[in-house]
Amino acid sequence: MTGEMQQIVLASRPEAAPVAENFRLEKVALPEPGEGEVLVKLHYMSLDPYMRGRMDDAKSYAAPVPIGGRMEAGAVGEVIASNSPHFQIGDFAFGMFGWASHGCLPAKELRKIDPAQGPITAALGVLGMPGFTGWHGLSAYGRPQAGETLVVAAATGPVGSMVGQLAKQAGLRVVGIAGGADKCKLAVDTFGFDVCLDHRAYADARALRKDLKESCPNGIDIYFENVGGKVLEAVLPLMNPNGRIPICGMIAWYNAGGLGEGAKEAGLTGPNIWRNILVKFLSVNGFIISNHFDRYPEFLKEVAPMVAKGEIRFIEDVAEGLENAPAAFMAMLNGGNTGKQIVKLI
């Protein structure tokens, strides 16, 4: 198959927050699928906070995107050529195709999507990596018990909203933290949180902690960590003995580089953190969801019917056009999205 496709590559590494010049839109030849490979015309791609870490040349759990390399992303689209018996032309597939208009991958790296079961965009959010992250982190490391109190920041995002809704269904008091009054209202009215605090309304962690303490009169048993920064500083002293902290992200520090230098400015020095963990017998578990995809079928079996029945709600924030992906990504890192950030490609 001949023709061209578009892709966005990493033009340069950001020094702090990404800027438009760190990205470059290119036209390249459309790939020809080899033996066992599938060529997909992409309809939607996902934007996620972890991508910021891939832009840095720092030691991490995954290799950085090389300069001139295509930005990473999960995406869904329609099969237009196949050399695999597992995919036919017209099928829909999800894979890690990257920021691009088309993608070509081995069939064994793809997941077939049935559009009859719901919007294909669900594979990028509520039934994809973000939703799975929330479900796994809460069940494996949060270990929720009825009557406990859970706090989650980025409460209206695809991870936070999944965590909050599952915890509420398990009988917990659920307190969210989000950026802006509209998002806080969304957390309560749409996702069923008991309370949601606007972190932008507080000058520092001390002020946030005061209202957080009032919202959590029995202390905090589970803090699902998405953001770090002043939210962590506010939460940590309020954790109950034997509390649990699943850690899946720290978006407040991503633009400071791989080491998250903002932690020191927030007062989160090693002795302070370790003392809280020690004297309160806290369980703190960092996890990378790509290490746990053996549980993905279990997640789908449990959560997909809940989504179909409307018991788990989700919101998508859709940007239009591959060329607008960098702007949408940069806005997302500053909380400019509402719900799961995706990019419509066609």
The domain of 116 spans 4-125+315-344
Contact 269, 68 (CB under 8 A): no
pLDDT in tens, the chain (346 residues): 679 999 999 999 999 899 999 999 999 999 999 999 999 999 999 999 889 989 998 777 788 999 999 999 999 999 999 999 999 999 999 999 999 999 999 999 999 998 887 899 999 999 999 999 999 999 999 999 999 999 999 999 999 999 999 999 999 999 999 999 999 999 999 999 999 999 999 988 889 999 999 999 999 999 999 887 889 889 999 999 999 999 987 765 555 544 344 444 445 556 778 888 899 999 999 999 999 999 999 999 999 999 999 999 999 999 999 999 999 999 999 889 999 999 999 8
Mind listing the pLDDT tens digit for each residue in 242-262?
A: 999 999 877 655 555 443 444
Mind listing the pLDDT tens digit for each residue in 57-101?
A: 877 778 899 999 999 999 999 999 999 999 999 999 999 999 999
Structure tokens at 7: 């892709």
Structure tokens at 196: 């949601």
Residue 299 within any structural domain of the chain: no
Same domain, 31 and 95: yes
Structure tokens at 220: 């905090």
- Of 121, 84, 333, the closest CA to residue 227 belongs to 333
Q: Is the dihedral of CA 259, 198, 182, 150 positive or negative?
A: positive
Same domain, 241 and 322: no
Structure tokens at 341: 């950030």
Structure tokens at 247: 């850690």
Distance CA 220, CA 197 (A): 15
**Mean pLDDT over all residues of the chain?**
92
- Of 47, 39, 29, the closest CA to residue 251 belongs to 47
Residue 300 within any structural domain of the chain: no
What's this model's pTM, rounded to 2 decimal places?
0.88
Same domain, 147 and 258: yes
Count of domains observed in the chain: 2
* pLDDT over 70, % of the chain: 94
Same domain, 115 and 135: no
pLDDT of res. 100: 98
